[in-house]
Amino acid sequence: MKICIIFGGISTEHEVSIASGTSVIRNLDKKKYEILPIYIDKEGQWYKYTKPIDKIENLSMGEKPKELEKIKNIVDILKDSDVIFPVLHGIGGEDGSIQGLFKLINKPYIGCGILASSVGMDKIYTKIMFEKANLNQAKYEYIKKVGKDYIYIDKNFNEEKSTLEEICRRIEENIEYPMFIKPSNSGSSVGINKAKKIEELKKYIEYASEFDKKILIEQGIIGKEVECAVLGNDDVIASCVGEIIPADEFYSFDAKYKKSNSRTLIPAQIPNEISEEIRKTAIKAFKTIDGRGLSRVDFFIENGTNKIYINEINTLPGFTQISMYPKLFEAVGITYEKLLDKLIELSIN
Ligand SMILES: Nc1ncnc2c1ncn2[C@@H]1O[C@H](COP(=O)(O)OP(=O)(O)O)[C@@H](O)[C@H]1O
Ligand SMILES: [Mg+2]
């Protein structure tokens, strides 16, 4: 079976995707699969990898592959493979756009389809869907920046033009500090900040608007941060629950990729009933966005109340050997290699 592994990509998660892609290549059973590595550079140019596969397997985290050949016609190459695995994170790879290309050429591919990918990538639309499914989540406000104007959007999608000052007052009436300010389309914590007072709220809204015109403001939840992996199409299974212990005040970009003292704890040290509730909710969240194949669903457990809050769903989670997604399944007996076999089988089904 010929499997096309696409990695790199135009998003801020380019380097992480190289690490994920090379891990996947390293762990695929070479007796079962012929591997066709495809690299997308940061400018969006596609390349074929021409040299023996073992060279690519030894790239270090984020190291760009060499021995590349520019691709003139990607469609012909994709058509020639049996299955495609877009090991791409963020915009252009996790948001439904590349999935649209695979669908048009009628090729099986690993992971969520167009709808689930784009809903999962957009934090505001994820919230709207989770609300519909009655999943407990942090209170939020939705605003837009269009040109120099700020627009407040109410729960019925009515828009009201306003000043930044007025918008912040209105947000303060509905949610308490600390608040998290996020560009609706982002990943790896890029553009995300925590505000403890109005001056910061204003500053971080302006900052978030540099990444996306849609901005989400959320009530900060004080507690543990935990994650659960799901796998399947119609019959979906959940892994155990893992905990993140960030090396920063929150799980910021630096805490994720620069500070080596961010830690994970698998399984999370939480009561069994809470872990079961999280696993059930993870599957429900996956079904709510019409997920397929795989996702990692992230939660908070509030200090004091032990109440669970869903945070987000990642339809193409980090896939390096030390990433949470494969590690959570490894902890319940599904090795990285078996996980890949299963994902390929699910994509063909
Ligand atoms: N409502 C919240 N309460 C507490 N912490 C939050 C909240 N929202 C986000 N965070 C912190 O910010 C990090 C990044 O936010 P997240 O929504 O997961 O964005 P990304 O898609 O970039 O991972 C989270 O991992 C968490 O540490
Ligand atoms: Mg996150």
- Per-residue model confidence as pLDDT tens digits over 83-94: 999 999 999 999
Q: What is the average per-residue pLDDT within 68-86?
A: 95
pTM higher than 0.75: yes
- Check whether 287 has a pLDDT greater than 80: yes
Cis peptide leading into residue 65 (ω within 30°):
no
Distance CA 262, CA 36 (A): 34
Band (pLDDT 50/70/90 cuts) for residue 342 is very high
Band (pLDDT 50/70/90 cuts) for residue 53 is confident
Find the 72 Cα to ligand 2 centroid distance in Å: 35
What's the pLDDT score for residue 258? 79
- Check whether 16 has a pLDDT greater than 80: yes
DSSP 314-340: ESS---STTSHHHHHHHTTT--HHHHH
As separate numbers, helices (DSSP H) first and strands (DSSP E) second, the chain gives 12, 16
CA-nearest of 71, 72, 33 to 53 is 33
pLDDT > 90 fraction of the chain, expressed in percent and rounded:
86
What's the pLDDT score for residue 25? 94
Q: Whose CA is nearest to atom 21 of ligand 1?
A: 187
Band (pLDDT 50/70/90 cuts) for residue 57 is confident
**Encoding tokens for residue 2?**
């010929």
In this structure, the dihedral spanned by the alpha carbons of residues 1, 110, 17 and 240, taken in order and rounded to 10 degrees, is: -120
Q: Which atom of ligand 1 is nearest to the CA of 246?
A: 27
pLDDT digits (tens, 9 = 90+) for 247-274: 888 999 888 877 778 899 999 999 999 9
Q: What is the average per-residue pLDDT within 280-285?
A: 98
What's the pLDDT score for residue 255? 85
Mutate to test the pocket of ligand 1, among 139, 192, 219 (most ligand atoms within 8 A of CB): 192
pLDDT digits (tens, 9 = 90+) for 243-253: 999 888 899 98
Q: Whose CA is nearest to atom 24 of ligand 1?
A: 251
Q: What is the average per-residue pLDDT within 126-139?
A: 98
Q: Which atom of ligand 1 is nearest to the CA of 298?
A: 18
Mutate to test the pocket of ligand 1, among 250, 305, 309 (most ligand atoms within 8 A of CB): 250
What's the pLDDT score for residue 315? 98
Mutate to test the pocket of ligand 1, among 91, 194, 251, 314 (most ligand atoms within 8 A of CB): 251
What's the pLDDT score for residue 64? 84
Band (pLDDT 50/70/90 cuts) for residue 6 is very high
234 CB burial (10 A radius; 0-12, 13-18, 19+)? exposed
Q: Name the more confident of 67 and 197.
A: 197
Find the 211 Cα to ligand 1 centroid distance in Å: 16
Band (pLDDT 50/70/90 cuts) for residue 154 is very high
Q: Whose CA is nearest to atom 26 of ligand 1?
A: 251
Helices 14-27 & 336-348 angle (0-180, nearest 10): 100
Domains and CATH numbers, the chain: 2-109 (3.40.50.20), 121-135+222-348 (3.30.470.20), 140-219 (3.30.1490.20)
Cβ–Cβ < 8 Å for 122, 274: no
pLDDT > 70 fraction of the chain, expressed in percent and rounded:
99
Find the 251 Cα to ligand 2 centroid distance in Å: 8
Find the 112 Cα to ligand 1 centroid distance in Å: 22
Cβ–Cβ < 8 Å for 139, 221: no
- Check whether 54 has a pLDDT greater than 80: no
What's the pLDDT score for residue 181? 98
Q: Whose CA is nearest to atom 27 of ligand 1?
A: 251
What integer best gives the mean pLDDT of the chain? 94
